[in-house]
């Protein structure tokens, strides 16, 4: 299968690229805000997994058209996004372009390619895989309940509002799509919560105390597990649509940190603090003007729809163990 990955230098994209290259059946074109521009020179395929690295800005419809015409992808995996949730609060226009219009542009390009004379793939055009977020829900549901895919959306942040707008643009584009809403994502090759807490834990070991938010509930998700969900969905041909997609089980950031320390042999006590305390601390550090995006208190998403479709999903504890094993090997 010919696969085009956008935002290929990002954290999730690195796991996606590895997984889809593994079976040796796929030709993969990596794209991001760097690389060769279409028309500059011919694509040189190595005949196996990875074809080329191309420049593709998902906010630029002309450049999408050129890349799609040249590559003729059967599957487009959109890992490109604006992901700085606090900064997003003061950059609404840019975030709209990247997180709402960007996926919309890709979806419309998939639908258009499917209608073009050159297209001889699946009816409806290439499949678009897009990654969304728990932030679309807002998190105000009682903590005892889990979010279902069709629950009311009440995003509280610029990031959440724009990701929801991106979903909506895809849904009306007429393309074949999967939208996977994930949360609390960590993986190799990116700045992530686990690495931050490991660093804090090592440097705090003289005092032996770390303060972590304990009133937000969700599912830590290893990029390799989200990638496995995407891979299974595509290869098992589950129905197109929107799916909640995280590792199984729920926890808090404080409990997650305790588990990280337990599995890493770090002797550090975790003290729970509220989101409000965390926000006050962040402002004290960065200045009163610093905007802290309101984090959802309830990020618990039901994965029943994916499970019913026959997708296997590990628990967050299992994902963390596998991440730390590979992380330790890389560091030693």
Ligand X SMILES: NC(=O)c1ccc[n+]([C@@H]2O[C@H](COP(=O)([O-])OP(=O)(O)OC[C@H]3O[C@@H](n4cnc5c(N)ncnc54)[C@H](O)[C@@H]3O)[C@@H](O)[C@H]2O)c1
Return residues touching ligand X (CB under 6 A). 6-7, 9-12, 32-33, 56-59, 79-83, 98, 102, 131, 133, 182-185, 190
CB 209 → ligand X: shortest distance, Å?
25
CA-CA distance, 29 to 77, in Å (whole number)? 10
| Residue number with CB closer to ligand X (14 or 120) | 14
CB 49 → ligand X: shortest distance, Å?
20
CB 206 → ligand X: shortest distance, Å?
30
Q: Which residues contact 133 (CB under 8 A, 6 or more apart)?
A: 159, 160, 163, 181, 182, 183
- Among candidate residues 96, 135, 159, 243, the one labeled active-site is 159
CA-CA distance, 279 to 290, in Å (whole number)? 10
Assess contact for 240 and 309: CB atoms under 8 A: no
> Is 212 strand, coil or helix?
strand
The residue number with the shortest CB distance to ligand X is: 10
Please, what is the end-to-end C-alpha distance for the chain in angstroms? 36
Catalytic residue flag (residue 159): yes
CB 277 → ligand X: shortest distance, Å?
21
CA-CA distance, 45 to 26, in Å (whole number)? 12
| Residue number with CB closer to ligand X (121 or 151) | 151
> Is 312 strand, coil or helix?
coil
| Residue number with CB closer to ligand X (109 or 185) | 185
Assess contact for 147 and 137: CB atoms under 8 A: yes
| Residue number with CB closer to ligand X (49 or 299) | 299
Q: List residues with catalytic annotation.
A: 159
């Amino acid at each position: 299968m010919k696969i085009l990955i956008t935002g290929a230098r990002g954290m999730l994209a690195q796991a996606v690229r590895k997984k889809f290259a593994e079976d040796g059946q796929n030709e993969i074109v990596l794209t991001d805000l760097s690389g060769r521009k279409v028309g500059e020179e011919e694509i040189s395929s190595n005949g196996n997994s990875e074809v080329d690295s191309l420049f593709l800005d998902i906010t630029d419809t002309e450049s999408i058209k050129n890349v799609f015409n040249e590559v003729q992808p059967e599957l487009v995996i959109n890992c490109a996004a604006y992901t700085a949730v606090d900064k997003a609060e003061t950059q609404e226009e840019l975030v709209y372009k990247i997180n709402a219009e960007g996926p919309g542009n890709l979806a419309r390009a998939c639908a258009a390619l499917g209608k073009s004379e050159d297209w001889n793939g699946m009816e409806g055009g290439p499949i678009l895989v897009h990654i969304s977020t728990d932030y679309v829900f807002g998190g105000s549901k009682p903590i005892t309940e889990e979010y279902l895919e069709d629950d009311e959306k009440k995003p509280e942040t610029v990031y959440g509002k724009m990701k929801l707008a991106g979903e909506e643009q895809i849904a009306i584009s007429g393309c074949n799509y999967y939208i996977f809403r994930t949360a609390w994502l960590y993986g190799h090759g990116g700045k992530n919560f686990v690495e931050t807490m490991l660093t804090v834990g090592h440097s705090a070991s003289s005092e032996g105390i770390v303060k972590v938010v304990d009133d937000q509930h969700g599912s830590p998700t290893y990029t390799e597990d989200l990638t496995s969900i995407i891979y299974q969905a595509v290869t098992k041909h589950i129905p197109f649509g929107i799916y909640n997609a995280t590792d199984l089980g729920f926890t808090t950031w404080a409990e997650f940190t305790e588990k990280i320390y337990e599995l890493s042999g770090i002797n550090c006590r975790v003290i729970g603090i509220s989101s409000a305390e965390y926000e006050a601390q962040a402002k004290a550090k960065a200045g009163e003007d610093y905007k802290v995006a309101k984090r959802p208190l309830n990020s618990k998403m039901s994965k029943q729809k994916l499970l019913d479709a026959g997708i296997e999903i590990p628990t967050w504890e299992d994902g963390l163990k596998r991440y730390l094993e590979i992380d330790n090997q890389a560091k030693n």
